[in-house]
């Protein structure tokens, strides 16, 4: 399916900018919004039948003790060979304990030791990066991530959660997998993601008690803080055994003050390692005298790590300390050096130095892709320090800076994916002074960057939507952001971003933008089966489009309406497509008119008027070829073949489908190529065509579906094995 809407990328509508007056978008100096992309975007998971994921985070420090926990996991989850048949075929364990107690490290160590037990791979999903405001969206997104890890391409991941979990069971059957769900906050998120293959294991970790998982067969483990001896080992490992051995009594006092929590021990050890003259006795005295406690962070049994964080914080130089405070307010889960530079208004070199100092102090963690993240407790501490020490209004200013930064980069990524698409926001002035990282040699692929960054972009959108002065930037970011969701099926995130954007456009009094975003919103709503909600959005979009007076916006809304009515009312669908075609023609929007004609032709063929459909589709094909939109033209050529087949014109149908499939292959549109080949094989088989050619088409389609992890692969395998070429 093509990207919704149509139009030329150079066409824009003026919009109100709340802090610059009426303009065509935010007008600020590039240095205040753009810090660059300073981490390596990880490659998307591979697709295919026998993908072997290896995702559980490695340990970055020496693992200490936890022998009882490891032994318990071994006993629960690693049955002996030849165990009785009534032994559970899939292991299930749930670990709970205080934040920072070491649950992730324990599971990572167990997975590392038992790598040979899971020859088909290890999957990791961190729910801390998925939490949002849409109920249930996190577990559905977790299912999507598991499917991607198992080689299912985005094009074949179902929209509905129930369908995703069914496909997950199918894909995991016959495989021996370890699935680790980290930072789970609601037990109901876990059991639905149990793999099916015998010998597989699901491990869940969370701060809250996960007792109800016992009803689903989980073995429960409470992960306690480290005992004194183990905690002393951690200190010795991080700051030097000699320093601990020189004053064991003070070292034991430090361990007690840290309550045996590894996250606090690492911060204390970093102080000792960084300051050779600082003794355990002096640090223990400081820690014991520290009165400050992290607001709201009573961790049970009077444990608190705030004192350790406060001591480390007070040792920071002014710039790292300010960066620490401000990034506690940053609304994303991770950030790169570019975002940090923008958030703090620092030069890139000074930002790099500050980040290095925070990492040395164990106040920041470095992720495998080179970005940074806070431990949850550290983030809360940093945010508390910002609230107490930063000037009024600084939080709003930070949100504004990072919103403009993400707007610039997201808009550049959007344009890099497809330039000739309808956009309401005019961001030319904003982007004119911003280097385009996606156009540079060796730069990241735009969809890969958007995929890696999308949870942070959504977090920024949420924060900006709460600010009364950022309505324009919110709807502009939501509009640019939608390019990711047209390719990757994060339906909950797409829906939320468009809802935020549409509400912001309404507040900013930009009816064209509201119409565009609400019509786009109908897509995820329909994919989620919420058809009445989709219709309400389309009704509102039509009213906004009429108020805007813009022909192309009105045409786009009509096109979306046609897509809605395609399900139930072909006559109304064709009326909507004709309206979109006429409006685009009147506005001299050639590509928009051609795409509307394509949809109209498909609707005419589905309604049984194949002859009229052929006339409509031929016009669309010619117009798209003139514009050199070869991918879309190839899809129209396939539709022409289907219409010929409907009329019994077999030779013409075969010719059109062959040409369309070949062109789609040239354009690397393999999903559509496979559909064309299956249709072609069916026509040739019915018309007594060459059986070997039929088989060749189906084998190529099977190759595509297997490479993408499509559920249709099994169907084609059975057809080919049974000698049934058409099914």
Q: Which residue has tokens 């064209």?
A: 512
502: nearest Cα among 475, 466, 463? 475
Rounded distance between C-alpha atoms, residue 374 and residue 223, angstroms: 21
Q: Give residue 196's pLDDT band: very low, low, confident or very high (50, 70, 90).
A: very high
Mean pLDDT of 514-523: 97
Rounded distance between C-alpha atoms, residue 147 and residue 138, angstroms: 14
145: which 2 tokens? 């991530």
Rounded distance between C-alpha atoms, residue 416 and residue 434, angstroms: 14
Mean pLDDT of 545-549: 96
pLDDT of residue 127: 87
Helix (H) or strand (E) holding 123: strand 122-126
Rounded distance between C-alpha atoms, residue 632 and residue 413, angstroms: 21
Rounded distance between C-alpha atoms, residue 451 and residue 455, angstroms: 8
457: which 2 tokens? 């972009």
What are the tens digits of pLDDT across the range 347-405? 888 999 999 999 988 899 888 778 899 988 888 889 989 999 999 999 999 999 999 99
DSSP letter (8 states) at residue 373: E
User: Is-contact 538 560, C-beta < 8 A?
Assistant: yes
User: Is-contact 598 620, C-beta < 8 A?
Assistant: yes
Rounded distance between C-alpha atoms, residue 374 and residue 331, angstroms: 12
Q: Which residue has tokens 């685009």?
A: 584
Rounded distance between C-alpha atoms, residue 221 and residue 97, angstroms: 9
pLDDT of residue 461: 97
3-state secondary structure 8-33: CCCCCCCEEECCCEEECCCCCCHHHC
Query: Is pLDDT at 329 greater than 80 in this prediction?
Result: yes
pLDDT above 90 coverage of the chain, percent: 55
CATH class held by domain 67-222: alpha beta
pLDDT of residue 310: 85
110: which 2 tokens? 């167990």
Least confident of 238-247, 614-623, 627-636: 238-247
Rounded distance between C-alpha atoms, residue 327 and residue 35, angstroms: 15
* Angle formed by the axes of helices 590-606 and 610-626, nearest 10°: 160
Rounded distance between C-alpha atoms, residue 198 and residue 546, angstroms: 59
Query: Is pLDDT at 49 greater than 80 in this prediction?
Result: no
pLDDT of residue 15: 38
What are the tens digits of pLDDT across the range 682-722? 999 999 888 999 999 999 999 999 888 888 888 898 888 87
Would you put residue 7 in left (φ > 0), alpha (ψ -120 to 50) or beta? left
357: nearest Cα among 399, 391, 386, 315? 315
Rounded distance between C-alpha atoms, residue 280 and residue 246, angstroms: 9
Question: Could you tell me which residue, 657 or 489, shows the higher pLDDT?
Answer: 657
Q: Give residue 48's pLDDT band: very low, low, confident or very high (50, 70, 90).
A: low
What are the tens digits of pLDDT across the range 89-119? 889 999 988 888 889 999 999 999 988 999 9
Mean pLDDT of 505-518: 98
Q: Which residue has tokens 């052929």?
A: 614
Rounded distance between C-alpha atoms, residue 256 and residue 128, angstroms: 29
How far, in whole angstroms, is CA 268 from its chain's centroid? 35
pLDDT of residue 524: 93
pLDDT of residue 290: 59
Mean pLDDT of 524-530: 91
Rounded distance between C-alpha atoms, residue 551 and residue 649, angstroms: 38
151: nearest Cα among 247, 31, 55, 221? 55
Query: Is pLDDT at 551 greater than 50 in this prediction?
Result: yes
pLDDT of residue 299: 33
Strand-by-strand arrangement of the 178-182 sheet: 122-126, 178-182, 201-206, 91-96, 219-222
Helices of type H across 258-317:
262-274, 280-289, 306-314
User: Is-contact 660 635, C-beta < 8 A?
Assistant: yes
pLDDT of residue 38: 64
Q: Identify any residues that bridge with 109 across adjacent strands, giving them in sequence order.
A: none
CA distances from 46 to 13, 120, 179, 196, 321 (A): 40, 14, 18, 21, 40
Rounded distance between C-alpha atoms, residue 627 and residue 604, angstroms: 24
What are the tens digits of pLDDT across the range 261-285? 888 888 888 888 888 888 999 888 8
pTM (global) more than 0.85: no
Rounded distance between C-alpha atoms, residue 106 and residue 294, angstroms: 26
Query: Is pLDDT at 670 greater than 60 in this prediction?
Result: yes
Beta strands (DSSP E) in 177-224 are: 178-182, 201-206, 219-222
Query: Is pLDDT at 18 greater than 50 in this prediction?
Result: no
Query: Is pLDDT at 613 greater than 90 in this prediction?
Result: yes
Mean pLDDT of 118-122: 94
3-state secondary structure 240-259: CHHHHHHCHHHHHHHHHHCC
What are the tens digits of pLDDT across the range 418-451? 888 899 999 999 998 888 999 988 888 999 999 9
| Three-class SS state of 345 | coil
pLDDT of residue 308: 80
Q: Give residue 130's pLDDT band: very low, low, confident or very high (50, 70, 90).
A: confident
pLDDT above 70 coverage of the chain, percent: 88
Mean pLDDT over all residues of the chain?
A: 86
Burial state string for 355-393 with b = 16 or more CB within 10 A and e = fewer than 16: bebbeebbbbbeeeeebbbbbbbbbbbbbbbbeeebeee
Q: Give residue 7's pLDDT band: very low, low, confident or very high (50, 70, 90).
A: very low
DSSP letter (8 states) at residue 48: S
Query: Is pLDDT at 13 greater than 50 in this prediction?
Result: no
Query: Is pLDDT at 726 greater than 60 in this prediction?
Result: no
pLDDT of residue 652: 96
Q: Give residue 58's pLDDT band: very low, low, confident or very high (50, 70, 90).
A: confident
Question: Could you tell me which residue, 79 or 2, shows the higher pLDDT?
Answer: 79
Question: Could you tell me which residue, 395 or 66, shows the higher pLDDT?
Answer: 395
* Domain edges within the chain: 1-32+391-549, 67-222, 227-327+335-389
**Which residues are within 8 A (CB) of 117 and not within 5 positions of it... i.e. 6 or more apart?**
78, 176, 178, 199
């Amino acid at each position: 399916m093509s990207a919704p809407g149509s139009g030329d990328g150079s066409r824009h509508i003026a919009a109100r900018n709340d802090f610059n007056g009426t303009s065509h978008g935010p007008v600020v100096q590039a240095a205040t919004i753009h810090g660059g992309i300073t981490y390596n975007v990880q490659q998307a998971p591979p697709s295919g039948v026998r993908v072997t994921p290896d995702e559980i985070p490695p340990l970055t420090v020496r693992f200490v003790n936890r022998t009882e926990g490891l032994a318990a996991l071994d006993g629960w989850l690693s049955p002996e060979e030849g165990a009785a048949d009534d032994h559970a075929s899939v292991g299930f364990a749930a670990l709970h304990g205080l934040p920072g107690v070491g649950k992730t490290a324990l599971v990572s160590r167990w997975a590392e030791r038992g790598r040979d037990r899971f020859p088909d791979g290890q999957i990791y999903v961190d729910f801390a990066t998925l939490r949002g405001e849409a109920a249930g969206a996190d577990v559905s997104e977790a299912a999507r991530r598991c499917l991607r890890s198992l080689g299912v391409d985005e094009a074949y991941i179902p929209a509905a959660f129930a369908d995703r979990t069914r496909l997950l069971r199918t894909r995991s059957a016959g495989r021996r997998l370890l699935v680790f769900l980290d930072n789970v906050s609601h037990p109901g998120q876990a059991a639905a993601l149990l793999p099916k293959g015998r010998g597989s294991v699901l491990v869940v970790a969370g701060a809250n008690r996960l007792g109800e998982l016992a009803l689903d067969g989980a073995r429960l483990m409470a992960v306690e803080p480290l005992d004194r001896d183990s905690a002393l080992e951690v200190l010795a490992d991080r700051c030097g055994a000699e320093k601990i051995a020189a004053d064991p009594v003070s070292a034991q006092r430090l361990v007690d003050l840290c309550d045996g929590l590894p996250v606090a021990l690492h911060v204390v050890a970093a102080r000792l390692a960084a300051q050779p003259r600082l003794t355990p006795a002096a640090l223990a005295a400081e820690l014991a005298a520290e009165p400050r406690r992290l607001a709201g962070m009573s961790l049970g049994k009077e444990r608190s790590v705030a004192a350790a964080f406060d001591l480390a914080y007070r040792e920071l130089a002014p710039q790292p300390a300010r960066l620490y405070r401000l990034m506690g307010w940053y609304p994303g889960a991770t950030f790169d050096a570019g975002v940090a530079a923008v958030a703090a208004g620092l030069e890139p070199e000074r930002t790099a130095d500050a980040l290095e100092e925070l990492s040395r102090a164990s106040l920041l963690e470095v992720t495998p892709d080179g970005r940074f993240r806070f431990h949850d407790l550290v983030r809360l501490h940093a945010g508390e320090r910002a609230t107490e020490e930063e000037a009024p209004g600084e939080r709003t200013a930070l949100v504004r800076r990072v919103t403009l930064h993400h707007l610039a980069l997201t808009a550049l990524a959007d344009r890099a994916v497809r330039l000739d698409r309808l956009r309401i926001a005019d961001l030319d002035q904003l982007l004119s002074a911003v280097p385009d990282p996606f156009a540079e040699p060796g730069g990241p692929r735009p969809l890969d960057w958007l995929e890696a960054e999308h949870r942070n972009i959504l977090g920024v959108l949420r924060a900006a939507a709460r600010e009364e002065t950022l309505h324009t930037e919110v709807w502009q970011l939501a509009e640019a952001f939608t390019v990711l969701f047209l390719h990757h099926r994060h339906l909950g995130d797409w829906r939320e971003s468009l809802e935020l954007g549409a509400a912001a456009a309404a507040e900013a009094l930009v009816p064209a933008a509201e119409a565009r975003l609400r019509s786009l919103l109908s897509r995820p709503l329909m994919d989620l089966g919420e058809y009445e909600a989709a219709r309400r959005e389309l009704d509102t979009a039509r009213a906004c489009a009429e108020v805007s007076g813009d022909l192309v916006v009105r045409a786009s809304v009509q096109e979306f309406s046609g897509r809605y009515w395609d399900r139930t009312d072909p006559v109304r669908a064709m009326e909507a497509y004709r309206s979109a075609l006429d409006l685009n023609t009147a506005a001299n929007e050639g590509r928009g008119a051609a795409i509307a004609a394509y949809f109209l032709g498909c609707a005419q063929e589905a309604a049984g008027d194949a002859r009229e459909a052929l006339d409509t589709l031929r016009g669309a094909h010619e117009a798209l070829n003139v514009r050199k939109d070869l991918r879309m033209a190839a899809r129209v050529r396939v539709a022409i073949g289907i219409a010929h087949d409907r009329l019994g014109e077999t030779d013409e149908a075969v010719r059109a489908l062959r040409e369309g499939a070949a062109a789609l292959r040239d354009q690397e549109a393999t999903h559509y190529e496979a559909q064309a080949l299956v249709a072609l094989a069916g026509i040739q088989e019915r018309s007594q065509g060459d059986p070997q050619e039929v088989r060749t088409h189906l084998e190529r389609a099977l190759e595509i579906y297997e490479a993408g992890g499509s559920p249709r692969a099994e169907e084609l395998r059975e057809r080919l094995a049974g000698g049934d070429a058409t099914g």
